[in-house]
Amino acid sequence: MGQTLSRTRSWGPGDLTGGPVDQVFAQVRQAVPGLAIERLAVTRASDDDNVYFLGVGSVPDLVQFDTGPGGQPPFLVEAGHRVVTSEVAEAVAAVSAGLGSGDAGSGNDLP
């Protein structure tokens, strides 16, 4: 007792769902140096663990990203605004905007 359990676990480039969310995360990682992704850790297999928290540097929770089972759309992006999409490019743009990086294809770093 007295031990604090993390509700998330780190989600690195080698962690894959097999679904389109892998493309979203790969594209955002290219556009946002220092991106950190954590996946919700659940205690029961029947619980929904398709929730991710994305951040940069000392701000670990700028964007919440939800998917369907197996990393499938629809994607729900929440970062001060809410975007629901089934398109990888639109999800990348919404996540990038939420992280403050601008257009994912521009190569802009965070301020």
Q: Per-residue pLDDT tens for 8-63?
A: 889 999 999 999 999 999 999 999 989 999 999 877 665 667 999 999 988 888 99
Has residue 44 been placed in a domain?
A: yes
Centroid of chain to Cα 44:
21
Closest CA to 20 of 95, 97, 103, 87: 87
Has residue 31 been placed in a domain?
A: yes
Q: What is the mean pLDDT of residues 63-89?
A: 96
Domain region containing 52:
8-99
Q: What angle do CA 9, 79, 14 make, to 5 degrees?
A: 35
pLDDT of 105 over the 80 cut: no
Which single residue is written with the structure tokens 């540097």? Answer: 57
User: Residue 43: its pLDDT value, please?
Assistant: 74
How many structural domains are present in the chain? 1
Q: What is the mean pLDDT of residues 76-81?
A: 94
Has residue 111 been placed in a domain?
A: no
